[in-house]
Each structure stands twice: as C-alpha cells, then as structure tokens.
C-alpha cells in the first residue's frame, strides 16, 4: 500500500469528493512521523535509503614524547641533526659510540644522553666490569688535560698507574680484565713496547674507529697521542672504550697469540 495514501482517513470517496485542508495537513504529518521513526537502512517514501549524517573525522592526536631511542652502534652528526623538535632526552645502548660533533650538537639543542639499561651494568658508578687505569708518559699540556678528565678529582674514576711503562705493564698482567689508557708522545713506539711485553695494544686516532678495533682485537691497552688530537676527542676515545666494557678476545686473535707463545717457548 502506498505510504501516503495509507495516511488518509478511511472513508468512502467519489470522484467528486475533495480533500479538505485539515486532511492534507494530517496526511503530511503522518508521513513525517513515519519517516522520523524509520531506521537508516529502511526505504523512505521516495524509495531511497537514508544515510547517516557524515561526521568529519577528527585529526589524529599528536603523541608528544620528549624521549627518543637510538639503537645504532655509532651516533653521528646527521643522527643528532635529524632528531625531531621537542626531544629533550636521547636513550642509547651502553655500547653506542657518540662522536664529539654529535655530542656537541645534542648539547646545543638541549638534548641529554641517557644510557639505556645502565642500572643493569655490573660494577660501581654505572661502569662495566673490569679495572681501568691511565698512564701518562707525555709531558704535553694536552696529555695532562686528558689525564685530568679521566683520573682527576672530577674525572671519570680511572686509576693512575706508573710511573713507568714497565710498572704499568706489570699492573696490567696481574689480573684479567684490566685495561690501560696510555697518553704518549710517539704512539707507535709505545705500542711496539707493549706488544713486546705480550700485551694486546693498539693506537687509536679517532673515536669513529674505536668500536671496530675493540670488537676485532679486544685490546688491553689503547695508546693515543694527545698533542695530535683535540682534548674532547681523546677523552671520547677512552670514555667510549670503557662504555664498551670487557670484550672477549676473538678466537682468531687467541689462536695467533697461543701460537706465538709456543714459538717463544721453543
């Protein structure tokens, strides 16, 4: 039955009958009530499907976080520059090496570094297990400044050994997991002397190469020439070395040392 016709009053009409204004108004009101009561999926009087009113989507909520995490092993300048605005803290892994330039950029941007998982590191002061000492056999002002940043009153807690290379070498071999930072005028000669004493020693000229050398060689001694390096770069080398902690000696290096020791005894 037609919806509109069903709303008219039920009485007999003839072709000569005419609807009154009251009847027309009553029919219109009945249709409007039926339309408002129908569900959106039900057909309307015009045979169309009613559509719910479109609600404009809300913009996605912006999640603001002042802490970012960096999972790489080497934090470079471009990483520090690319950090989004509003970051105030950068969490990095204990083995992540931060270049001096990246550290300077973070400082200028007001971003502090947090070593993730530092509470789980063995040893005191948040440092990795092992003993760490510094030997200065260079009389330069730069070497004195680096020594102060490592073992001074406000330094990073390194021990002082010496006063000679021989005495420091004897301290190094007394216990496992001891590490020696050497500040020398001529690094190649110092490295040769340490190697002759049966120690794993290497020269480091930049903090960028540190992690690769440490992972491949696990040195007991790292030698730098402070007069040829900015003070902050030399400090960064030893700071990152200690953060890397005790690294197992690679099997290839261990086999080589064993063979060399057997030849020396023979």
Task: Tell me the domain boundaries of the chain.
Answer: 1-7+18-50, 64-120, 130-266
Can you give 155-175 as a three-state secondary structure string?
Answer: CCCCEECCCCHHHHHHHHHHC
Alpha-carbon span 84 to 38, nearest angstrom: 52
Segment 44-73 shows an average pLDDT of: 50
CATH number belonging to domain 130-266? 3.40.1400.10
232 versus 45: which is more confidently predicted? 232
The closest alpha carbon to 97, from 212, 192, 177, 254, belongs to: 212
Percent with pLDDT over 70 in the chain? 67
Min mean pLDDT across 27-36, 73-82, 208-217, 218-227 is at: 27-36
Whether the predicted pLDDT of 191 surpasses 80: yes
Query: Residue 179: its pLDDT value, please?
Result: 95
Segment 187-197 shows an average pLDDT of: 94
Residues 83 and 90 sit within 8 Å (Cβ to Cβ): yes
CA dihedral sign of residues 79, 81, 85, 89: positive
The region that residue 27 occupies, defined by phi over 0 for left and psi between -120 and 50 for alpha, beta otherwise, is alpha
> Model confidence over 115-163: pLDDT tens digits?
654 443 333 333 456 889 999 999 999 999 999 999 887 778 899 988 8
3-class secondary-structure state, position 228: helix
Whether the predicted pLDDT of 165 surpasses 70: yes
């Amino acid at each position: 039955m037609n919806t509109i016709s069903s709303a008219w009053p039920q009485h007999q009409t003839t072709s000569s009958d005419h609807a009154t204004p009251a009847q027309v108004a009553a029919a219109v009101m009945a249709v409007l009530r039926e339309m408002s009561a129908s569900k959106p999926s039900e057909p309307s009087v015009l045979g169309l499907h009613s559509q719910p009113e479109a609600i404009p989507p809300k913009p996605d909520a912006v999640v603001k976080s002042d802490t970012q995490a960096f999972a790489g092993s080497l934090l470079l300048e471009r990483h520090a520059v690319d950090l989004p605005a509003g970051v105030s803290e950068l969490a990095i892994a204990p083995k992540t090496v931060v270049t001096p330039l990246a550290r300077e950029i973070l400082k200028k941007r007001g971003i502090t570094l947090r070593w993730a998982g530092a509470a789980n590191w063995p040893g005191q002061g948040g440092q990795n297990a092992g003993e760490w000492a510094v030997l200065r056999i260079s009389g330069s002002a730069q070497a004195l400044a680096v020594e102060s940043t490592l073992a001074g009153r406000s330094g990073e807690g390194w021990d002082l050994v010496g006063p000679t290379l021989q005495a420091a070498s004897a301290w190094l071999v007394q216990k496992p997991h001891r590490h020696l930072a050497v500040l020398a005028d001529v690094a190649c000669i110092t490295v040769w002397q340490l190697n002759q004493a049966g120690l794993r020693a290497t020269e480091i000229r930049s903090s960028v190469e540190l992690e690769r050398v440490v992972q491949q060689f696990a040195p007991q001694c790292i030698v730098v020439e402070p007069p040829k390096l900015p003070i902050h770069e030399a400090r960064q080398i030893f700071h990152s070395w200690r953060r890397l902690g005790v690294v197992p000696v690679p099997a290839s290096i261990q086999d080589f040392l064993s063979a060399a020791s057997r030849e020396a005894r023979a």
